[in-house]
Structure 1
């Protein structure tokens, strides 16, 4: 489960991330990210914050809630790898209803890497 301090709640925070942030689209997700630059907010909030947008286009309520639960679980796994002052909004596209959790995490990590939020995995030198 995603801890409460790491969730976006206010519509203003969602709007800032979606309108001013950078975005990277994948087949089932769109990842929006913005770095918080307001000193009063950045000093009181610890860690990255996540927001989810799962519209009715994804499916009926049961399907939307299942997708949202999976995305929250995925976010809780990558939370320690992200810069602390980052707000991320994940918009689920209709294909997310049929994607597996493994596919969603690959797409989310790929989008975050393209946005420069995650570093490429460090393997043995070749």
Structure 2
């Protein structure tokens, strides 16, 4: 699978999702999710793993783990979904299954919030 079409690339994309999207946090991850159906059919994702998480080896391993977790859930997202997953310090100490639970829970919660928000704005437009 090619990640090229599923990546958020620019700082503007990351900012837009972080500011406009729904947010859900767990102890080691924060997920921002925006439903933008006019953007296109493919869901896109971006990862933020700061130096507070660890050195380059730890940050790259964390990004790989997050990418693998997201890959399994990508097909469940509606078209035009943009997601930013931010890793928090201490994430490297989590077992993969625990990290997977945190990401899945935060992603589901953010998607529910985004759908409720979209429903409210669609109702207001009527």
TM-score range, shorter chain: 0.7 to 0.9
Say whether residues 1:35 and 2:31 are aligned partners: no
Say whether residues 1:89 and 2:74 are aligned partners: no
1:59-98 pair list within 5 angstroms:
59-98=54-93
Residue in 2 that maps onto 1:123: none
Say whether residues 1:16 and 2:11 are aligned partners: no
Unaligned runs of 5+ in 1: 118-126
Determine which structure has the larger helix proportion and give its number: 2
Residue in 2 that maps onto 1:53: 48
Detail structure 1 runs of 4+ shifted over 4 Å in the superposition.
Answer: none
SS for the counterpart of 2:32 is strand
Distance 1:20 1:111 in 2: 17
Residue pair 1:29, 1:92 contacting (<8 A) in 2 also: yes
Displacement of 1:46 after TM fit? 2.7
Residue in 2 that maps onto 1:3: 3
Distance 1:112 1:2 in 2: 22
Aligned residues: 112
Unaligned runs of 5+ in 2: 114-126
SS for the counterpart of 1:80 is helix
Residue in 2 that maps onto 1:99: 94
